[in-house]
Structures are given as C-alpha cells and as structure tokens.
Amino acid sequence: MALTDPADTRFGLGDLLGLRGAAGWLFLIILEVTIALYMIKNFAEVSPWAALAGLILMLAAGALVMVVPVDPLPIPVAVFAAAAGPVSATLIVASMPLGGHSDSVWTAYPTSYVLSVLVLRGRVRIAWVGVAAIALVVALAGLGPQLESRAVVGSIVPVGTVAAISVFAAIMRPMQRSLRLLREEAMLRAAAEATMSAAETERTQQLARLDRVARPILERIADGAELTAVEREECRLLEAELRDGLRAPQLVTDELSGAARGARSRGVEVVLLDDGGFAGVPEWVRKRVIDAATRELDAANAGRVTVRVLPLGRRVLATVLATAPDYDQRTEIDTDGRVSVA
C-alpha cells in the first residue's frame, strides 16, 4: 500500500489491492480527510491545544502507514502508528472538563482506520496491541467523571474494524504468496529474455563487423590467390583489430582503432584490455580515456603501448602505458576524468 513501488520491496497486499501510484495517493487523501473530520469534533469538547496535538498525531500516523514503501512496515514506524491513537485519546480524555457529557471518544474511530491499514501493511500483532491500548484508554475514561459510561462502547469500534481487516488479510495471504511467486517468475523470465536479446544483438553486430572488415581478404584466401606482402600485412593488422574487439569492446571506436592500426603499421606493439571499469561512468569520461589513448598511439613510433581499463571500484579508471628505448610514460585517468602523466 505504499505510494512508491521500488524494485527491492516485497510484494504486499498493497500490490494486490492496486494501492500504488495515483490510487495510493487518493487512498491517502481519503484517509487523512476522514481522520481530520473525526478529530475536529474534539475542538468543541476539550482545550484547543490537546485537540490540535491529537489531530497532528493521528494525521502523522495515517501518512506514515501509507508513504513508507517497505512491506512489512519497519517496526519503529508500526509502533508509532499503533501508539498514536492511544496517546491522542489519552490527551483528549485528560483535557475533558469534569462532569462532561460527551458520549463518544472520537479518536477511537480514526484509530481503527490507521490500525486497519497497519494490518494490511503486515504488522498484525502490533495493530492488535494498538487495539488493546485504545480500548483500555476508553474503558478507563468511562470510569472517570469526564466521560459518560456508555462511551466505553467506542472501544468496540477499533476491535470490530481491525478484526474484519485481519480476517480479510488472512484470507488473501495465500493469493498474495501465489501472485508474488508469479511476479518473481515473470521477472526472471523477462531478465532471461533481455539477456538473450542482448546476446543476439551483440552477436549480430560482431558478425556484421566481421563481414565488413574480413570478408574481402577471406574471399581472396578462399579463392586460393597468393597474397602479396601488403595483403599479408593487412591480415596481421586485421587479426589484431579483431582481437581488440574481443579483449576491449568498450575501447573499440573508429578513432582509437585507426590510431592502433597506424601504430601497429609503424612497428609498435599495441595491447588493448578492458576489465569492465567503464560501467556506470559518464560518456565524457570514457571519451577522455579514448582521446588520451589515441594521442599516445599517434605519437608512438616504436616500443609498446598498453591501454587498460581497470576493474570497477578502483580510483583509477584507465591507464595508458607507453614504453620505448628512449621513452617511458604512464598516463592515468580517474573516475572523475582527471588525467595525470608520470
């Protein structure tokens, strides 16, 4: 019955009753208005401060049992909601003038509604403790001079309402479990389908790329043609590019692939590695890594250039290590996009 529907909450009766989103807000407004209409009657019988304090307590309890998104409700929230009614009723009864002629404790009625919602939110035992507490307050008030003894009948109201909702919740619990299992199965099935779809998309893209870059040379090899030195060099560069696509798919862009091809054609050993650190970082940070790697590859004429994206959770996102007989430089890019050269 929470107004929000986060993915990590359990499937409760609120889901079953459809009290989510706009329906939940509507239910909350109706509950708060109902509480206010009952509690306003206390202003004519007791001091304004006591009536106002009771009104605020009950409105806060009604709001909390609806807006907290976790089912069952956290124990502190449930205890507050269950205690709000008895505490409010105590304030109201204690402020009644001696010899008063009130024939009802109006607070008992909105208390029954709050406790009923508490039952639906999975805190049945705490709700019944609240029922006992409000009944005790009303019964004791009926023994005093402030309240007519027939007002004790008001203590029956929470008992009847909460009892009916408790029976309803018990009847609906098996259906709730069945629907929770069905939803979990649907989520697992959707996740599996999404994984299969992503794998199929990736396979299609890889096949399209392979067809685009490798088909011409593969057809020449299949025809039995003797490859020239230039074509053999093209095969070597093509094999390296395909290996880059497997080792570092997030680094493979037209810009970086072109720079890596150029460096390899000049005799530079190029290694691209991707350990998954790009997950969750902004696109501009990834672009900064690619730009730094491209600059280093364009400048290299000998030796080795290693571009590595580090695993998740590291302060440093990626490194670019360039080594040559007369040159040795390490470039680091952190997760905030800062570039440092050593």
Most distant CA atoms of the chain, gap in Å: 116
What pLDDT does residue 319 have?
92
Q: Which helix (H) or strand (E) holds 306?
A: strand 304-309
Question: Considering the domain boundaries, does residue 197 fall inside one?
Answer: no
Residues 152 and 256 grouped into a single domain: no
Q: Are 107 and 92 in contact (CB under 8 A)?
A: yes
Which tens digit of pLDDT belongs to each residue from 94-105?
Answer: 887 665 556 667
Residues 31 and 138 in one domain: yes
Q: How far apart are CA 67 and CA 19, in angstroms?
A: 11
Residue 8 is predicted with a pLDDT of 37
Residue 20 lies inside a defined structural domain of this protein: yes
The whole-angstrom separation of Cα 197 and Cα 322 is: 39
Cis link prior to 72 (omega < 30° from 0)?
Answer: yes
Q: Are both 259 and 183 inside the same structural domain? A: no
Q: Specify whether 38 is located in the same domain as 169.
A: yes
Instruction: Examine the fold and report which residue of 188, 220, 238 is the final residue of a domain before the chain moves on.
Output: 188
Give every CB contact of residue 322 below 8 A, 6+ residues apart in sequence. 296, 299, 300, 303, 304, 305, 328, 329, 330, 331
Q: What is the Cβ-side half-sphere exposure of residue 285, based on CA atoms within 13 angstroms?
A: 18
Mean pLDDT across the chain: 80
Is residue 259 within 8 A of residue 298, CB to CB? The reply is: yes
8, part of any domain: no
pLDDT digits (tens, 9 = 90+) for 152-187: 666 677 778 888 888 887 777 777 677 677 777 888
pLDDT value of position 102: 60
Asked if 251 and 329 sit in the same domain, the reply is yes
Which pLDDT belongs to residue 80? 92
The CA-to-CA distance between both ends of the chain, in Å, stands at 57
Query: pLDDT digit string (tens) for 1-57?
Result: 444 433 334 445 555 555 566 777 788 888 889 889 988 888 877 788 888 988 999
* Mean pLDDT along residues 284-305: 90
Q: Does 238 score more than 80 pLDDT?
A: no
The residue segments making up the domain with residue 336 are 247-341
Q: What is the mean pLDDT of residues 180-201?
A: 82
Of 164, 188, 212, the one marking the end of a domain is 188
- Give the tokens for residue 156: 């029956």
Task: Decide: residue 91, CB within 10 A, 0-12 exposed, 13-18 middle, 19+ buried.
Answer: buried
Residue 45's alpha-carbon distances to 49, 56, 94, 263, in angstroms, are: 12, 17, 11, 90
Residue 75 lies in a domain: yes
Are the C-beta atoms of 106 and 42 separated by less than 8 Å?
A: yes
Per-residue confidence (pLDDT) for residue 178, from 0 to 100: 72
Neighbours of 149 (CB within 10 A): 12
What pLDDT, on a 0 to 100 scale, did the predictor assign at position 154? 62
Residue 151 has what pLDDT? 61
Give residue-wise pLDDT tens across range 49-78. 888 988 999 999 888 888 887 778 889 989
pLDDT band, residue 122 (cuts 50/70/90)? confident
Q: Residue 133 contacts by C-beta under 8 Å, 6 or more apart in sequence?
A: 82, 83, 85, 86
Q: With contact defined as beta carbons under 8 Å apart, do 285 and 316 qualify?
A: no
Higher pLDDT, 3 or 204: 204
Query: Which of 188, 214, 232 represents a domain boundary (last residue)?
Result: 188
Asked, for residue 207, whether it belongs to a domain, the answer is no
Give the tens place of pLDDT for each residue, 271-290.
898 888 888 788 898 899 99
Angle between helices 48-67 and 22-40 (to 10 degrees): 160
Question: Is the domain of 29 the same as that of 168?
Answer: yes
* pLDDT (0 to 100) of residue 321: 92
Shared domain for 113 and 180, answered yes or no, is yes
Domain identity same for 37 and 107: yes
The full length of the chain comes to 342
Number of structural domains in the chain: 2
